[in-house]
Amino acid sequence: LTEVAGAKLRAGYSANAEVIIARRDSVLYIPERLVTHRNDSSFVTVRTDAGKPEERLIKTGLSDAINIEVLEGLKEGESLVEPPPREIT
């Protein structure tokens, strides 16, 4: 618990606490919005050296819903392709 100087908790107050269940430091992670899920597998679209987009299977680890840890399938420095949002026609 962090000490908050001067603040007092009185009856009827409410407080929010964050409980850290798991944490990772210095791991490879990407924005989770770039991950496609299909039948329990995760995929990302990688821009290859030739400039062509290529779909790749990855293994994911911990996620906070915004960023997701990548365990296998990607190397640091590779660039991912984010498709533009779909248009309604």
Partner 1 sequence: VWREFVADLRAQKLRTSLTVLGIAWGTVAVVVLLAFGVGLERQTRKRFHGLGDRIVILFGGRTTKPFEGFPDGRPIRLLPDDVPTIAQEVTEIQYISPEFITRSARVRRGVKAASPAITGIVPAYGVMRNIIAQAGGRFINDRDVAERRRVAVLGDELATLLFGHDSAVGRQIFLGDTPFTIVGVMRPKLQNSSYQQRDKDRIFIPATTHYALFGNRFLNNIVYRAKSAELTKVAERHVYETLGRKDKFDPTDKDALGFWDTSEWETRFGQMFVAFNAFFAIVGSFTLLVGGIGVANIMYIVVRERTREIGIRRAVGASRTDILRQFLAEALMIVLMGATLGFLLSVGLVAALGGLPIREFVGAPTISPSVLVATLALLAMVAFAAGLMPARRAAALDPVDALRS
Closer to partner 1 by CB, 48 or 55: give it: 55
Cα(37)–Cα(57) distance, rounded to whole angstroms? 10
Contacts of 58 (CB under 8 A, 6+ apart): 35, 42, 43, 44, 70, 71, 72, 73, 74
**Sign of the Cα pseudo-torsion (70, 71, 73, 74, in order):** positive
Q: With binding defined as CB under 8 A, does residue 69 bind partner 1?
A: no
Task: From 5-13, 28-36, 46-54, 69-77, give the range in contact with partner 1 by CB under 8 A.
Answer: 28-36
User: Does residue 33 bind partner 1 (CB under 8 A)?
Assistant: yes
63 binds partner 1 (CB under 8 A): yes
Q: Which residues bind partner 1 (CB under 8 A)?
A: 16, 32-33, 35, 37, 40, 63-66, 84-86, 88-89
